[in-house]
């Protein structure tokens, strides 16, 4: 079963404002992003795998406007799934730098995992 199905009421409540607040412009919404709860990112990447090329384009736009460790990490994961290993490594490296600056050890670790997977596949 997808991991988001086991989310607590508090976890669901914590993401509801991000889902229901549609009054912001896209640029304002990007500036107001915060790192998602682990279960939301895991559920998205493990369960959707929809149009990854379009998703990559959106993540690139987001990161051009407001690079943040969690959005850079998301872009790195997408690049890894698309077998853009050099791009995944480069983006994960940037995500790690941003996560270190924010003192977020979880995203440092996650970024390092993507870097390791990408490096193993770069030819």
Residue 93, pLDDT > 80, answer yes
Number of H helices, E strands in the chain: 7, 0
**Contacting residues for 52 by C-beta, under 8 A, at least 6 apart:** 78, 81, 82
Reference 24, options 69, 65, 78; nearest CA is: 65
Angle (CA) 69 111 56, round 5°: 65
Q: Tell which phi-psi region holds residue 49, choosing left (phi > 0), alpha (psi between -120 and 50) or beta.
A: left
Residue 112, pLDDT > 50, answer yes
pLDDT (tens digit per residue) in 3-47: 444 455 565 555 545 544 455 555 566 566 555 554 454 445 545
Mean pLDDT, all residues of the chain: 76
Higher pLDDT among residues 85 and 25, named by residue:
85
Kindly list the domain boundaries of the chain, sorted by start residue. Answer: 3-121
- Which pLDDT band, with edges at 50, 70 and 90, does 48 fall under? low
Considering 7-16, 58-67, 84-93, the range whose residues carry the highest mean pLDDT is 84-93
**Contacting residues for 65 by C-beta, under 8 A, at least 6 apart:** 27, 30, 31
The residue-averaged pLDDT of 66-95 equals 94
Return the pLDDT at 4: 44
Pick the CATH number of 3-121 from 3.40.1000, 1.10.10, 1.25.40, 3.90.660: 1.25.40
d(CA 50, CA 22): 23
Q: Is this structure's pTM higher than 0.85?
A: no
């Amino acid at each position: 079963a997808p991991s988001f199905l086991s989310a607590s009421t508090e976890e669901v409540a914590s993401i509801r404002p991000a889902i229901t607040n549609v009054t912001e412009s896209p640029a304002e919404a990007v500036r107001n992003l915060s790192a998602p709860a682990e279960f939301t990112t895991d559920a998205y990447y493990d369960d959707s795998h929809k149009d990854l090329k379009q998703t990559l384009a959106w993540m690139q736009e987001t990161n051009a406007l407001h690079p943040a460790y969690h959005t850079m990490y998301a872009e790195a994961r997408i690049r890894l799934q698309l077998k853009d290993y050099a791009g995944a490594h480069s983006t994960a490296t940037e995500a790690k730098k941003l996560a270190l600056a924010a003192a977020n050890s979880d995203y440092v670790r996650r970024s390092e995992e993507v870097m390791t997977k990408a490096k193993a596949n770069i030819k």
